[in-house]
Structure 1
Amino acid sequence: MRAVAFLLLLLCATCHIALSFTDGLLPNGNFELGPKPSDMKGTEVIGPHAIPEWETSGFIEYIKAGQKQGDMLLVVPEGAFAVRLGNEASIKQRVKVIKGMYYSITFSAARTCAQEERLNISVAPDWGVLPMQTLYSSNGWDSYAWAFQADYDVIEIVIHNPGVEEDPACGPLIDSVAFRALYPPRPSSKNLLKNGGFEEGPYVFPNTSWGVLIPPNIEDDHSPLPGWMVESLKAVKYIDSDHFSVPQEKRAVELVAGKESAIAQVARTIPGKTYALSFSVGDASNSCEGSMVVEAFAGRDTIKVPYESKGKGGFKRAVLRFVAVSNRTRIMFLSTFYTMRSDDYASLCGPVLDDVKLLSLRTPPRHI
């Protein structure tokens, strides 16, 4: 299949039309098809259509794995090549989609210069700013997700570096840009929360082991984690069972930044009625060891669930019973402590949250 896809990319290396979309990497999304030597000046890309399938503007560099910037080795997460966006530089690609559908974009990025680097990502009329001050992985790379609702049949994905540094080449490295259609689940009689198992979410790269960050300050109308909001200063990490220990089914969320890493959802409730909020707390089997606590909130009620992690997987169930005081109840989860992985003491990690259920109880419980 990869050989067929590669041939199709070669055939379309000079065309710039929108291709029909399927979940996975965008055409030449990993930038393995590079510019011709005549379109390069050192590492700088010359001309807006030099990189197959992409249109570029501003100072763009085509970076090979192992390339050095001074004494720093530039690491490419997938394959052999990536692009670096200099001051006010951008890359964009047109994609055919279904109007009205929700989509999530996943891409990997690395900071190479200033601490305050950030990225603008947009699909008109939606746009967002992804801060890159915090590095969550010790390997120098993080994968990010961002979502939107398609207003047109053909959309244009733009990744832009708004920074203005002294060195015009300064800016983040970008690699592995992928796409996934989202199907937002609805509440049901079996769960009053949407997407309580976190099975619906952004594309996770099959050949990476660091998960996908859901950025901070993400609202639920266009969340890459449908139904959930990230109501915090830091991101939460979306993980899968192919690379991590997950309590239930295929996907879960890791609360990687203490109280600065929180997710929330507002559920419809009936005042005076008793409800049970149940969930799983565990660890991702990623050497995240130590005493962890997940705090769960349901309106005015709260519970702290301790979990002693050995970093090798496992989980426990917890239940918070409460009486609703309004017709909408805010459900929120956060991690009490900051934790670092014991194998590198550099990667942020934390407790895993999964299988979140909210159900109404017929009669008030006599004890918790």
Structure 2
Amino acid sequence: MLKFTALFVLLCAHFHVGLSITDGLLPNGNFEQGPKPSQMKGTRVTDPTAIPNWQLSGVIEYIKSGQKQGDMLLIVPEGQFAIRLGNEASIRQKLKVTKGMFYSVTFSAARTCAQEERLNVSVRPNTEAKDWGMLPMQTMYSSDGWDSYAWGFLAEASEVEVSIHNPGVEEDAACGPLLDSVAIKALPPPRRMRGNMLKNGNFEHGPYVFPNTSWGVLVPSNIEDDHCPLLGWMVESLKAVKYIDSDHFSVPEGKRAIELIAGKESAIAQVVKTTKGKVYDLTFSLGDASNLCEGSMEVEAFAGKVTLRVPYESKGKGGFKQARLRFVAVSDRTRVRFLSSFYTMKNDNSGSLCGPVIDDVKLLGVRNPN
């Protein structure tokens, strides 16, 4: 019986190692399996292997939901536990993946006591010298104090190590962001659908969205991430855009859409092959996410040398309208770009930025423009 049990455990362990990771939480991705009391000093974790499936370094605290820090009550969005990354702290996990496949990591984070908190996300092995994401957390976009972030990478080996690191050096070594719910999603190469020259024009293919959170996922700009997890698109701006789902927001078409949350600092773009001198129609839907984002909005659409400004008066309760931009291609490649003209804040006294929703973007040639 003992031999059978030992063989069974060995086979299970071998089977687990051989499997590639699937979409969803990483093993112990929500940190619900925590350290033993002997591996902690107060809230600080003292053993680098204390949290199952993770390798730790630096000042790391194990936080229980409802724990107080001064006058601040720490809330955990998924389950009962999260971790806090202090000065130069990092967590790492090795994953079995498919070599050559593109992946997106999604994680939830919240600021605590530092003023300029940020997180560095990276993967090894990696031959691209600058392929890492330094994600700033000075601006929080949800009313709950937590935001989810996405970061993309190309798997260069069948086993990779994903790392999340707080590079901050604060006077209080325990200061730093809270981290919870780390997930991954495999993303196949984007393809053009029939009746649309753009890839992923309906935004259905993008990073993993946590089903139990209501604040969407921030997709960082190309400054922070060379590999945009919003397939087919580039975030050409200083700040992120928000990837939203129909389970928690009003979405014009399908299950996913994009919210332009930071005025002209929040833009998406795609370059598409065109024929110089040919006439094209760019159509899209714009509206609001039904998230108390009220007031006068305006989306600016660019294609070739033509710009279209489309106003939208939002009551913050959902709704959308359609728009069309007709243009003549001036080269064999045309950049299609969208941004929000204004900054808008939610009408809930949170000070959270929001903005118009873009969805169902299509580009087609016009056969008889006259």
CA deviations on 1:212-231 (whole Å, 9 max, x unpaired) are 00012358962110111111
Name structure 2 gaps, 5 residues minimum.
1-11
CA deviations on 1:302-333 (whole Å, 9 max, x unpaired) are 10111111111111010000000011111110
- Relative to structure 1, the CA distance from residue 314 to residue 357 in structure 2 (aligned partners, 3 Å threshold; closer, same or farther) is same
| Matched AA of 1:88 | E
C-alpha distance in 1 between matches for 2:282 and 2:353: 27
Greater mean deviation of Cα atoms: 339-348 or 292-301:
339-348
Say if 2:144 is the partner of 1:129.
Answer: no
CA deviations on 1:131-179 (whole Å, 9 max, x unpaired) are 1111111211100000011001011110001111111111111000001
CA contact (8 A) 1:184 1:195 kept: no
CA RMSD of aligned residues (A): 1.7
Structure 1 residue 20, shift from structure 2 partner: 3.2
C-alpha distance in 2 between matches for 1:222 and 1:215: 10
CA contact (8 A) 2:304 2:328 kept: no
- Aligned residue number for residue 292 of structure 2: 287
Instruction: Give the alignment's TM-score, normalised by structure 1.
Output: 0.92
CA deviations on 1:98-148 (whole Å, 9 max, x unpaired) are 000011000000111222111110012132111111111121110000001
C-alpha distance in 1 between matches for 2:226 and 2:138: 25
| Matched AA of 1:114 | A
Greater mean deviation of Cα atoms: 211-220 or 119-128:
211-220
| Matched AA of 1:74 | L
- Relative to structure 1, the CA distance from residue 220 to residue 131 in structure 2 (aligned partners, 3 Å threshold; closer, same or farther) is closer
CA deviations on 1:266-309 (whole Å, 9 max, x unpaired) are 11111000010000001111111111100000021110111111
- Aligned residue number for residue 227 of structure 1: 232
C-alpha distance in 2 between matches for 1:60 and 1:240: 32
Structure 1 residue 18, shift from structure 2 partner: 7.9
CA deviations on 1:198-256 (whole Å, 9 max, x unpaired) are 00000000000000000123589621101111111111000001111100010000001
Say if 2:181 is the partner of 1:170.
Answer: no
- Aligned residue number for residue 6 of structure 1: none
SS at 2:167 equivalent: coil
- Aligned residue number for residue 339 of structure 1: 344
Name structure 1 gaps, 5 residues minimum.
1-11
Instruction: Give the alignment's TM-score, normalised by structure 2.
Output: 0.92
- Aligned residue number for residue 116 of structure 2: 116
CA contact (8 A) 1:244 1:286 kept: yes
The residue correspondences of 1:1-368 to structure 2 (distance < 5 A) are 20-124=20-124, 125=126, 126-217=131-222, 222-364=227-369, 366=370
C-alpha distance in 1 between matches for 2:98 and 2:196: 29
SS at 2:132 equivalent: strand
Structure 1 residue 345, shift from structure 2 partner: 4.2
| Matched AA of 2:39 | D
Structure 1 residue 347, shift from structure 2 partner: 1.7
C-alpha distance in 1 between matches for 2:224 and 2:75: 32
CA contact (8 A) 1:137 1:346 kept: no
| Matched AA of 1:331 | V
- Relative to structure 1, the CA distance from residue 162 to residue 345 in structure 2 (aligned partners, 3 Å threshold; closer, same or farther) is closer
Structure 1 residue 343, shift from structure 2 partner: 2.5
Structure 1 residue 348, shift from structure 2 partner: 1.2
Structure 1 residue 67, shift from structure 2 partner: 1.0
- Aligned residue number for residue 9 of structure 2: none
Structure 1 residue 19, shift from structure 2 partner: 5.7
Greater mean deviation of Cα atoms: 68-77 or 41-50:
68-77
C-alpha distance in 2 between matches for 1:172 and 1:259: 27
Structure 1 residue 344, shift from structure 2 partner: 3.2
| Matched AA of 2:86 | G
| Matched AA of 1:341 | K
| Matched AA of 2:358 | L
Number of aligned pairs?
352
CA contact (8 A) 2:104 2:208 kept: yes
Greater mean deviation of Cα atoms: 113-122 or 326-335:
113-122
- Relative to structure 1, the CA distance from residue 189 to residue 237 in structure 2 (aligned partners, 3 Å threshold; closer, same or farther) is same
- Relative to structure 1, the CA distance from residue 286 to residue 270 in structure 2 (aligned partners, 3 Å threshold; closer, same or farther) is same
